[in-house]
Structure 1
Amino acid sequence: MSSSKQTHDHATIQAWAEKHGGVPAIVEDTKDSKGGGILRIHFPKHSESKSDLKETDWDTFFETFDKHKLDFLYQDKKSDGAESTFHKFIERE
């Protein structure tokens, strides 16, 4: 059985992403002049070279994350016990 966790703690999010080979990114077409846009955790080793994601730094990423009052929903393990990279950003309650 897999279970999801939810947080808005920056250190937890960054540690989870780095553990799974992820980097902070913004969807290129949604980027504004201040660096904000739709957030993603990008896994370069698991994606095509042609991506609409633009890597960014953690400070810019978390500035946008906090501005939009988001939470990070994520999973450590799949139901079969394998590591999971499932995650999504949701509105903070």
Structure 2
Amino acid sequence: EPEQRDFVLALQRALVGVRALEAARAGTVLAALLQRLYGLDVLEEEAIVAWWGDERAAAGEAMAAVRERCRVLVEWLENAEEEDDDDDDEDDSDDE
């Protein structure tokens, strides 16, 4: 998981470094990449959430702007995790 978090940070930094991309476009590209890599089981949910919580992901104006464009994806992942936990709790109570 730390390696995956660091991979996401590297992607974010690379996109911030592309002068031709403004932060909004770079953030949209990063969000799309993360969603696709998650869907392909390349990145785990925990790694994306860990990246989101890492202070380095919001260090500086450009990094923070790119990170912000990924908020919807991260919130969706966190809500999906909560729903999975709720489903697990319901399954446990059904077994009793």
TM-score between the two structures when normalised by the length of structure 1: 0.26
TM-score between the two structures when normalised by the length of structure 2: 0.26
Which has more helix, going by share of residues? 2
